[in-house]
Amino acid sequence: MYDVSWNEFENLAIELAKKIIDSDKSFTAVIAVSRGGLLLARLLSSMLELPMGVISAKHIHNKYIIDDYISSIYDIEGDILVVDDVLEESSREICVKISKNYKQVNKIALACIFYKKNKINFEPEFAISEIKNMLTIVFPYQEANINKSLDCILD
């Protein structure tokens, strides 16, 4: 197990933003995959000066469920950047759904802090590190860490 601190998370987000900026690719929006991608997408949206939208996706009872539409006050079009904290093979399904429901989207690029290599070689365009040997990553905003922090405050 690997625990990511708030400071490390912020530094990793800055490093990821630099990679995106250095690529010279331009995007029209940052799309967060809720819930894990919300904070990272928020930071990238600010650093890249792009509007942000949200698409919800979650494993429920061994089934991966993805919303049909992106929540945003902006038009979703052009080249977009889909952001999650950890990208897995199921992230491909999100791209397929967005492509199907948003014909005005030209290209979808993926950005994450960590990604898991998979058998179909589906990898993000922008990432910080590959997860090896099924390592469990625990982010500071996950429920267990939030509850620990609350316990310390309330004691």
> By 3-state DSSP, what share of the chain in percent is helix, strand and coil, each rounded to 5?
35, 30, 35
What is the residue range of 37's domain? 2-154
CATH of the domain at 104: 3.40.50.2020
Answer yes or no: is pLDDT of 155 > 70.
no
pLDDT at 81: 98
Residue pLDDT, tens place only, 50-108: 999 999 998 888 888 999 999 999 999 999 999 999 988 778 899 999 999 999 999 99
Mean predicted confidence (pLDDT) in 30-59: 95
For 15, the 3-state DSSP assignment is helix
Please report, in angstroms and rounded to a whole number, the separation of the first and last CA atoms in the chain: 27
Residue 29 CB neighbours (<10 A): 23
Structure tokens at 73: 């006050």
pLDDT at 12: 97
The pTM (predicted TM-score) of the whole model is 0.88
- Domain tally, the chain: 1
Q: Are 66 and 93 in contact (CB under 8 A)?
A: yes
